[in-house]
Amino acid sequence: MMNKTDKIYIAGHRGLVGSAIIRALQKAGFTNLVYRTHAELDLTQQQKVNDFFAHEKPDYVFLAAAKVGGIHANNVYRGDFIYENLMVQSNVIEAARRHQTKRLLFLGSSCIYPRDCAQPMREEYLLTGTLEQTNEPYAIAKIAGIKQCEAYNSQFGTDFVSVMPTNLYGQNDNFNLETSHVLPALLRKVHEAKLAKSPNVTIWGTGTPLREFLHVDDMAAACLFVMDKTDFNAIVNIGSGQEVSIRELAELICNVVGFDGKIVFDATKPDGTPRKLLDTSRLTNLGWKAQIKLEEGLKQTYAWFIENNHVAVASLV
Ligand code: GFB
C-alpha cells in the first residue's frame, strides 16, 4: 500500500492522465509528489532519466508520459510515435528498476489489441492478431512497454503493472484539431460551428465505428486503485462499458453544446478500428467500477473547455 508520505513520481504530470492522477493523489492526501516538466527533464535522454532517479529515488512511479494523439496524428507522425514512446518508457522503466522503485504503473492503450479482435476484448487477446494500421507504431511501442514490465518482473523480481485504458477524455485534453482524439475534436468543432451559426458540422469518417469512452477522473481513480493492489501484477483493462458510435457521440455533443445544425460525414478520412470495447471483468472482480456517465462527463468537459479557451469565450459574448 502507498503511504501518504511515500515519494511518488508522476511522469507526464501536465498531460490528460498525469494531471488527473496528481489531482487524485492530492485529494487522497499524498504529500510527497515529484514531477518535472519536459524542459526540466527530457525523458528520451537515458542519462538524464537515470540521474533524476538516482537523486529522487521515488517509491512509486506512475508512467503517464507518452506521445499520444488521435487517428490522424498516429497515422502521420508514425516515426515520432514509435521512437518517442519506446525511448521514454524504456528509460523510465529501466531507471525504476535500477533505483529500486517499489512499484511502477505503466499506461498502455486499448489499441494494443488486434484490429479485428473478438469483443469485448479480454487481456489474454494481446498478440493474437494483426494490429490496426493507423496506429500500429504507437501500439507496438505500448506492447513493448508491457512486455518490458513483464520481463523485468520475471528476471529482476520487480513489481511493475500495466493498465490498458479505453479512449479517455476530460479536462486538460488536447483540443488541437490536427492532433486530438475524436471527443475533444468534436466538442471544439461543434462549439465553433455554433458560434459561426453554421448550418452544419463536418466530422471524419463514416460515423459507424464504435468507441468506449472513460472520463479521466475515473481513469485516475482506477490507477490509484491498481497501484495499491499489491497482490496483483498482471495487465488490466480499464473501461466504462459505455459504448457509442461516432455518430451517436456527435449527436450527444450537439445536444451538450446546443447546436442544431446538420452533421456531415467526410468519408475520405479514415475510420480506424471498427469496434474497441474492453472487457473489464478482471478489474471489476478486483472491486473497481467507473462512476462518471458519458453525458455528465461531456457537460463537465465542455464547461472546462469554455472556461479555458479564452478566444472562444471572447467570441461568445
Ligand atoms: O479518438 P480517435 O482519433 O482515435 O477517433 P481512435 C477516431 C474515430 O473518430 C475515427 C472519427 O472513426 C474517426 O474517423 N472522427 C470523426 C474523428 N471526426 C473526428 C475528428 O475530428 N477527429 C478525430 N481524431 N477523429 C486512437 C489511436 O484511435 O485512440 C490511438 O489512434 C489510441 O493509438 C487512442 O489508442 C485511444 O479511437 O481511432
The model's pLDDT over 265-274, given as tens digits with 9 standing for 90+, comes to: 999 999 999 9
pLDDT of residue 181: 97
Contact of 27 with 81, CB cutoff 8 Å:
no
Query: What's the gap in Å between 162 CA and the centre of ligand 1?
Result: 22
Q: Is 33 helix (H, G, I), strand (E, B) or coil?
A: strand
Average pLDDT on 123-134 reads 97
Contact of 220 with 64, CB cutoff 8 Å:
no
Report which ligand 1 atom has the smallest distance to the Cα of 273.
Answer: 38
Please determine, for residue 312, whether its predicted confidence score (pLDDT) is greater than 60: no
Average pLDDT on 39-61 reads 98
Query: What's the gap in Å between 97 CA and the centre of ligand 1?
Result: 34
Query: What's the gap in Å between 200 CA and the centre of ligand 1?
Result: 20
Give the Å distances, CA to CA, from 310 to 37, 39, 259, 315.
24, 25, 20, 9
Q: Which residues pair with 213 in a beta bridge?
A: 167
Average pLDDT on 122-142 reads 98
List the residue whose alpha carbon is closest to atom 16 of ligand 1: 204
Give the Å distances, CA to CA, from 74 to 4, 31, 67, 129, 163.
38, 36, 9, 20, 20
Report which ligand 1 atom has the smallest distance to the Cα of 203.
Answer: 18
Contact of 61 with 101, CB cutoff 8 Å:
yes
Domains of the chain with CATH codes: 8-312 (3.40.50.720)
Contact of 270 with 71, CB cutoff 8 Å:
yes
CA–CA gap between residue 133 and residue 95 (Å, rounded): 32
Report which ligand 1 atom has the smallest distance to the Cα of 134.
Answer: 31
> Ligand 1: which of 17, 71, 214 to mutate, judged by most atoms within 8 Å of the beta carbon?
71
pTM of the model: 0.96
Query: What's the gap in Å between 95 CA and the centre of ligand 1?
Result: 33
Report which ligand 1 atom has the smallest distance to the Cα of 139.
Answer: 33
Please determine, for residue 251, whether its predicted confidence score (pLDDT) is greater than 80: yes
The model's pLDDT over 147-168, given as tens digits with 9 standing for 90+, comes to: 999 999 999 999 999 999 999 9
The C-alpha cell 453525458 sits at 295
- Residues acting as catalytic residues: 138
The model's pLDDT over 1-34, given as tens digits with 9 standing for 90+, comes to: 899 999 999 999 999 999 999 999 999 999 999 9
Please determine, for residue 240, whether its predicted confidence score (pLDDT) is greater than 90: yes
Query: What's the gap in Å between 159 CA and the centre of ligand 1?
Result: 32
The C-alpha cell 453554421 sits at 198
Instruction: Label the pairing between strands 210-215 and 167-169.
Output: parallel
Nine-digit cell at 311? 478566444
Contact of 224 with 24, CB cutoff 8 Å:
yes
Average pLDDT on 304-314 reads 71
The model's pLDDT over 274-284, given as tens digits with 9 standing for 90+, comes to: 999 999 999 99
Report residues whose beta carbon is within 6 angstroms of any ligand 1 atom.
70-72, 74, 109-111, 134-135, 138, 167, 180-182, 185, 203-205, 209, 211, 246, 269-273
CA–CA gap between residue 287 and residue 304 (Å, rounded): 30
Give the Å distances, CA to CA, from 4 to 27, 31, 32, 160, 223.
11, 6, 7, 20, 16
List the residue whose alpha carbon is closest to atom 6 of ligand 1: 71
Q: For the chain, what's the residue count?
A: 317
